[in-house]
Amino acid sequence: MKHLKVLFILLFACVLTTSAQETICNEICPTSLPAEMVVVGAERTSEYLPLLQGKRIALLSNQTGVVGLDHKHTLDLMLEMGLNVTTIFSPEHGFRGKADAGEHVKSSVDEKTGIPIASLYEGKSRMPAKETMDRFDVIVTDIQDVGLRFYTYYVTMVNMMDAAAAYGKEFVVLDRPNPNGMTVDGPILDMKLKSGVGWLPIPTVHGMTMGEIALMTNGEGWLNEGKRVKLTVIPCKNYTHQSRYKLPIAPSPNLPNMLSIYLYPSTCYFEGTPVSLGRGTDWPFQVYGHPLMKGYDFSFTPTSRPGAKTPPQLGKLCHGVDLHNLAAEDVIAQGMNLEYVIDAYRNLNMGDKFFTPFFDKLAGRTYIREMIMAGKSATEIRAMWQDDVKRFKEQRRPYLLYPE
C-alpha cells in the first residue's frame, strides 16, 4: 500500500465534469513517466468493480482486451471478480481477431466460458437485436484502437453507444492508449461520404483514445437523434498523447507490428486502388506494388494466409517499394503521407481507373483523388486540410483525458 500512496502523490489529477450521468475517473499522469508504466483502464479494477457489481454485463472486446504480463483477458478477469457477464460482442475480425477485414463473422459461444458471442459482423446490420439487448444492463468496451478514422473499432463502439442510448443501457469504456495518439492529420470527413470506414466528422488521424472518442461523441451530439448515453470512462494511468506505447497484442491480422501501425495512415489508401499494400506477405501495410509497376528493384508475391485469404494480386509477382526497414520515428514525423499513393499512380499511368469508389470513402474527401489526378504534389494536397486539423484540435480539447 505504501508504494501506491507514493505513486498517487506523483499523479497529476485532472477532473473533467460533463454531466450528472457522465462520470470520468480522474487520475492523469505527468508526461515525464515512461510509456512502459502505462496502466490500461481494464487493470484498474477498483475503479470499475463498484460500477458493475450486481449488474448484467455485455462485454465488447476482442483479442486485444488483455491485462498484465500474462495477457489475461478482461473477460476472465471480470469472471474471477464475480461479475455477471451475460453477453460478448465481437467487432470486425471476430472475438479472437482472426477474420479477414469486413468478413461476416457468425455469432457463437466462447469455448472457454460458454458465454454467447453476438457478432456485430454477421449480417448487414451492425446493431444487436432487442432480445440480445434485453440480456444485460450495461455495455463495457475494452478494445485496442489505432487512432484512424477508417479503422472500424471506434465505429463499432459508437454503434453500441447508439444501441445503449436507444434501450436505456449504461456504457463503460475501459480506456487504452492510442499508438498514433501523437498525431492529428488529414481532412475532416465529409459526412456525405459516411460509411463503415468513416463514421464521424473527424480527421483521418484523430489522435484520440476510445474513451476520448466516446466522450466527444456524447458531448457533440453525434449519436442518433442527438441522444446521450449514461457514460463512464476509466482512463489509463501514466499515458500522454506523446507516449510511444507498444501494443502487447496485434490489433488485427494485418497490423502485426508497430511500424505497420505507424504506416497505416499512409498506405491504407491502396485499399482503394489495384495496388497491393502487402496483404498476404510478411509486411502488410509496409510494402506496396503491382505486377505492372516498372523501375523498382523490390518485388513480392501475395499468398493466401490466415487474415488474408484472398489478398489483392494473389499469387502475382508485384514490383514496388519496400518500407519495412524505415525508422519508426521517421514514419511518425511524416504523418499522413500521400507520396506513396502518388508514386504508384504516376508509375502505373492508369488515369481514373487507378481509383475505386472505396478510395474516396477512405480519404473522406473527393479533392484528394481529384488533386492527385491533376498532378498536384503531396505537399500541395496536405495544405488543403491544415485548417481542418487546427479546427478539430480546438473542438476536441474539452474531451481530452491526457496531456497533449
> Using CA atoms, how far apart are residues 182 and 228, in angstroms rounded to an integer?
28
Q: Which residue carries 526497414 as its cell?
A: 325
Kindly state the average pLDDT of the residues 133-150: 97
Choice between 3 and 14, residue whose per-residue pLDDT is larger? 3
| Residue range 106-123, pLDDT digits in tens | 567 887 888 988 867 554
Q: Which residue carries 475494452 as its cell?
A: 142
| Residues 303 and 237 occupy one common structural domain | no
Which of 184, 246, 116 lies closest to 400 in space, CA to CA? 184
374: its cell numbers: 491533376
Kindly state the average pLDDT of the residues 155-183: 97
Q: Which residue carries 476536441 as its cell?
A: 396
| Residues 74 and 215 occupy one common structural domain | yes
Q: Which domain holds residue 88?
A: 15-246
> Using CA atoms, how far apart are residues 243 and 399, in angstroms rounded to an integer?
18
CATH label of the domain that carries residue 50: 3.40.50.12170
State how far the alpha carbon of 284 is from the alpha carbons of 245, 253, 258, 289, 369, in Å. Answer: 20, 9, 12, 12, 23
Last residue of some domain: 225, 246, 267?
246
The overall average pLDDT reported for the chain is: 89
Kindly state the average pLDDT of the residues 76-103: 74
| Residues 241 and 266 occupy one common structural domain | no
pLDDT for res 109? 82
pLDDT for res 257? 97
Residues near 125 by Cβ (< 8 Å), separated by ≥ 6? Answer: none
| Residues 202 and 148 occupy one common structural domain | yes
| Residues 358 and 226 occupy one common structural domain | no
Say if CB 246 and CB 259 are below 8 A apart: no
Q: Which amino acid is at 176?
A: R
Last residue of some domain: 199, 225, 246?
246
Say if CB 143 and CB 116 are below 8 A apart: no
| Residues 129 and 217 occupy one common structural domain | yes
Number of domains forming the structure of the chain: 2
Residue 201 maps to a domain? yes
| Residues 237 and 320 occupy one common structural domain | no
| Residues 234 and 264 occupy one common structural domain | no
| Residues 208 and 348 occupy one common structural domain | no
According to DSSP, residue 151 is labeled -
According to DSSP, residue 55 is labeled S
Query: For the ranges 51-55, 101-105, 157-161, 180-184, which has the lowest average pLDDT?
Result: 101-105
pLDDT > 80? residue 25 = no
Split at pLDDT 50, 70, 90, the class of 126 is low
> Using CA atoms, how far apart are residues 284 and 277, in angstroms rounded to an integer?
6
Within 7-143, strands assigned E span 12-13, 23-24, 27-28, 56-61, 66-67, 72-73, 84-90, 108-109, 116-119, 138-142
Residue 5 maps to a domain? no
Last residue of some domain: 193, 211, 246?
246
| Residue range 189-236, pLDDT digits in tens | 999 999 999 999 999 999 999 999 999 999 999 999 999 999 999 999
| Residues 163 and 267 occupy one common structural domain | no
pLDDT > 50? residue 259 = yes
pLDDT for res 28? 32
Residue 84 maps to a domain? yes
pTM above 0.85, yes or no: yes
pLDDT > 70? residue 94 = no
Split at pLDDT 50, 70, 90, the class of 129 is confident
Split at pLDDT 50, 70, 90, the class of 35 is very low
State how far the alpha carbon of 112 is from the alpha carbons of 45, 93, 108, 361, in Å. Answer: 22, 19, 12, 38
pLDDT for res 92? 60
Residue 335 maps to a domain? yes
Residue 3 maps to a domain? no
pLDDT > 70? residue 34 = no
Residue 401 maps to a domain? no
Residue 9 maps to a domain? no
pLDDT for res 6? 37
Which of 25, 146, 135 lies closest to 84 in space, CA to CA? 135
| Residue range 342-387, pLDDT digits in tens | 999 999 999 999 999 999 999 999 999 999 999 999 999 999 999 9
201: its cell numbers: 466528422
Kindly state the average pLDDT of the residues 260-287: 98
Choice between 129 and 336, residue whose per-residue pLDDT is larger? 336
| Residues 112 and 231 occupy one common structural domain | yes
> Using CA atoms, how far apart are residues 286 and 268, in angstroms rounded to an integer?
10
pLDDT for res 383? 98
Within 166-265, strands assigned E span 170-174, 230-234
Split at pLDDT 50, 70, 90, the class of 96 is low
Element (DSSP H or E) covering residue 320: strand 318-322
State how far the alpha carbon of 80 is from the alpha carbons of 49, 86, 123, 287, in Å. Answer: 11, 14, 33, 43
pLDDT > 70? residue 21 = no
Strand 230-234 to 23-24 pairing: parallel
pLDDT > 70? residue 339 = yes
- What 3-state class would DSSP assign to 333? helix
| Residues 238 and 269 occupy one common structural domain | no
Residues near 112 by Cβ (< 8 Å), separated by ≥ 6? Answer: 76
Residue 54 maps to a domain? yes
